[in-house]
Structure 1
Amino acid sequence: MGAKGFAVDLNKPLVFQVGHLGDAYEEWVHQPIISNKGPRFFESDVLELFTKTVWWVIPTVWLPVAAYFVSMSARAGLSGYDLASLVGLGLLLWTFMEYTLHRFLFHMRTQSYWANTAHYLLHGCHHKHPMDSLRLVFPPVATAILSIPVYNLVKLISTPTTTPALFGGVLMGYVIYDCTHYYLHHGQPAKGMTQKLKKYHLNHHYRMQNKGFGITSSLWDVVFGTRPSSLVAEKKR
């Protein structure tokens, strides 16, 4: 039951319903429904189609784009060492962006109709239906739009020659992130780093949604004090 008696009907398209929950949206969206079958978002079949993306589209679309940007810096005369260093720096920059976007944008609290609706489309749907495999990675159109301000940000901290390679590294980091995120939900790692990452991420979903914002790394959770305390204690034992 939501604000003023409103209840979401899971048998109808959800996107234009969730805004009516008002300040009850935060609690509702963090009560996950564990099912491989995702909900319908829109009445329109065309709009519905654009909300679904299979995971392999991400590397297929964005790795060639990342390689193109790196090649731009190579054609500008940068050495192989410089290119590798810039790509590595871009990967590190992505992990910071991954953390800050997840913590401050994807988990911002909303209560107005349109803010709830936007949040649900951006990230809330993933917490409500965490096993929906077709809405786990970002649609390429949405990524392309978001990449514009990211590219402009990279330009501010680099030179015309180094910007493409640095941005290419950021794009590679994004591809690793989205593919890793998909695997953590649908893969079955038996041991090693991927098993630890899966446990870390599922802890964020089902136990401590205000902790553990890193997906590919817990580095920035450690730096900013958002690593779940129970995992810290477990590691010390």
Structure 2
Amino acid sequence: MAALRRLGPNLLDAIIRMSATRTNYWLEFAFTIALSGALLAAGMRLHHGSWAGAFGTVLAGLVVFSFIEYLFHRWIFHGPDSMYRRGHDAHHRDPHGYDALPFFLPSAILLGLTVVFSMLVPTSHACLLGGSIGFGYVAYGLSHFTIHATRFRQPWMRQWAARHHVHHHLPDRNFGVTTSLWDHVLGTRHRPRRR
């Protein structure tokens, strides 16, 4: 029993260390892309309704993901002290680091969400929702990486990236990375003072 108690903290420490590696960072994308693609393919195969219904479900999944992104960033990554908060604080200290969730966690959460959805809606729609939420997560991750790794020339891309850079200086503002929709709706969008 004592060995099991010692294993818990050691395993958690190992997972936290692994989560800050480049390999973990890119494995997370690979796993999530593969699972999301499989869910979308299964959803399309099982779907017997209209294409408009399938397309609407995929759009709904992307909107749901945008809220999940906002919710996690605002209330978990900037919430009470936890391993998620510590990892996100490390990202604020070093935006070019590879701090991420353990590579298997987003896929496990995505599978769990899809199972819950399948209890509420037809399986085809559950798979389409899960797959589009997964691709929303991938878009978020790649967007976030690109914002910190690229100096944009196009004014609209500079403005998009600047919104997130503001968050690194004002951590209670601009929680959305892929979209500012929920910052507008929930009043956390940074509004610069007029000169």
TM range (shorter): 0.7 to 0.9
Paired residue secondary structure (1:140):
coil
Q: Which runs of 5+ in 2 are unaligned?
A: 1-8
Residue 52 (structure 2) pairs with residue 81 (structure 1): yes
Aligned-pair identity in percent equals 23
TM-score w.r.t. the length of structure 1 is 0.67
- Structure-1 residue corresponding to 2:4: none
1:194-209 superposed matches below 5 A: 194-206=157-169, 208-209=170-171
* Deviation (angstroms), 1:147: 2.7
Q: Which runs of 5+ in 1 are unaligned?
A: 1-15, 17-41
- Structure-1 residue corresponding to 2:63: 92
What amino acid is aligned across from residue 64 of structure 2 in structure 1?
Answer: L
* Deviation (angstroms), 1:173: 0.4
Q: 2:134 aligns with which of 171, 186, 196?
A: 171
- Point out the structure with max Rg over C-alpha: 1
What amino acid is aligned across from residue 31 of structure 2 in structure 1?
Answer: V
Q: 2:89 aligns with which of 96, 117, 124?
A: 124
Superposed CA deviations along residues 1-33 of structure 1, whole A, max 9, x for unmatched, are: xxxxxxxxxxxxxxx9xxxxxxxxxxxxxxxxx
1:93-112 superposed matches below 5 A: 93-110=64-81
1:185-224 superposed matches below 5 A: 185-206=148-169, 208-224=170-186
* Deviation (angstroms), 1:76: 1.6
Paired residue secondary structure (2:168):
helix
Cα distance change on mapping 1:211 and 1:155 into 2, 3 Å: farther
* Deviation (angstroms), 1:153: 4.7
Superposed CA deviations along residues 97-117 of structure 1, whole A, max 9, x for unmatched, are: 10111111111133xxxx4x5
1:127-166 superposed matches below 5 A: 127-132=92-97, 134-135=98-99, 137-155=100-118, 157-166=120-129
What amino acid is aligned across from residue 135 of structure 2 in structure 1?
Answer: M
Cα distance change on mapping 1:157 and 1:186 into 2, 3 Å: farther
- Structure-1 residue corresponding to 2:188: 226
TM-score w.r.t. the length of structure 2 is 0.79
Distance 2:145 2:164 in 1: 11
* Deviation (angstroms), 1:154: 3.4
Larger helix share, 1 or 2:
2
What amino acid is aligned across from residue 144 of structure 2 in structure 1?
Answer: H
Residue 146 (structure 2) pairs with residue 180 (structure 1): no
* Deviation (angstroms), 1:188: 1.2
- Equivalent pairs counted in the alignment come to 182
